[in-house]
A = this chain, B = another copy of it.
Amino acid sequence: MRENGHLFGLHRVIEPAGGLPQASKRLDNSAPHYDNEVVIDVATLNIDSASFHQIKGEVGADPDKIAERIMGIVAERGKMQNPVTGSGGMLLGTVVEIGPHYDGPVKVGDRVATLVSLTLTPLEIESITKVHLDSDQVDIKGRAYLWPSSPIVALPADLPERLALSALDVCGAPAQTARLVQGARSVLILGAGKSGMLCAAAAREVIGENGSIYGFDLRSDNMLSLHQYGLMDTFRTGDATRPTDVLDAVLDMTGGELVDVVINTCNIANSEMGAILSTRDRGKVYFFNMATDFSKAALGSEGVGKDVDLLIGNGFARGHAQMTLNLVRRHAGVREKLQELLS
């Protein structure tokens, strides 16, 4: 074991020294672990979809060649961060050792998933045992190291693993939604996919039956199911990239009012203004959508003279993983739809 592990993992950064692990070109991925680290015997890498597709495009849909490319990246960088897309993914494995200064929510023997990106996770691969071409997953033999500031979670025994992972992937959104809708009387879910459905459930638990939850998405099936389970009052279909279409749909659903909070969980670009126009004066817009453009939101809001709070979807919130798993447990409607999206 090595001493003096740094809270943010600076001890693992080789280049550029002094920077944070995520921004680094190269991490030290070697044993032994530091005193504040958890050591994970890695079973599976969930490669970020953009990254996996880039590699497949580069070397072809050949498991051996993909494995070779992944081994190459990790040998060079000490982490699985695709140099072209910049993106990572997450991993699944078992805790095999815990340093005396690691204080996280897991113990030796737990089957765990990381809630931070592979772009900052020191990873040593011994061998790649299988490449799953259609699920962007890679089974490996190897080890990863994480420190206290990098959230990880023990997988629950009562939920199918893939279901749990799919909910955990977006668990920042429902946790933050629950806070933002405190005191709100109307909420719009813009983009009712995985995270959007979990946010609807989180919002309903906070605002109850007296507040209204509205939905807007390209397709109606998820929203219909949310409606049947009492998690969405009214919804419309349409294209979130057309701002005035979103606004018109909202005014139509509410009888002419703007909403207190908009939760943007679309997965496409140019959905900023639909969200902003639908929000009442001094209301809040929460952007979980990673395709959000900072200056489109900042200047767009100014351009229409909207005095609203614009929030960036932080992927972390205290207790986000357990809270989200509990939502999945409590809401059969959401659970069924998440399950359906997996198959």
- Residues from 278 to 335 in A contacting B, C-beta threshold 8 Å: 281, 287, 290, 292-295, 297-318
Cα distance A315–B295 when bound, in Å? Answer: 10
Copies of this chain, complex-wide, total 2
Which chain B residue has the least Cβ–Cβ distance from A277? Answer: B8
Contact A243 B19 (CB under 8 A): yes
Known contacts A18-B242, A277-B8, A290-B294; A316 and B312 CB within 8 A of each other: no
Contact with B along A236-275 (1 / 0, CB 8 A): 0000001111000000000000000000000000100100
Q: How many residues of A contact B (CB 8 A)?
A: 54
Contact A117 B302 (CB under 8 A): yes
Cα distance A247–B273 when bound, in Å? Answer: 35
Contact B20 A303 (CB under 8 A): yes
- The one of B115, B304, B307, B318 that contacts A8, using a Cβ cutoff of 8 Å: B304
Residues of B within 8 A of A293 (CB): 294
Contact A20 B304 (CB under 8 A): yes
Q: A19-B244, A115-B302, A148-B305 are in contact. List 15 more A-B contacts (CB 8 A).
A: A18-B244, A19-B243, A20-B243, A20-B244, A20-B300, A21-B303, A149-B306, A172-B302, A281-B318, A298-B312, A298-B315, A307-B316, A307-B317, A307-B318, A310-B314
- Interchain residue pairs A-B with the least CB separation, the first 10: A302-B315, A310-B312, A302-B316, A149-B305, A294-B294, A301-B314, A307-B318, A22-B303, A149-B304, A120-B303
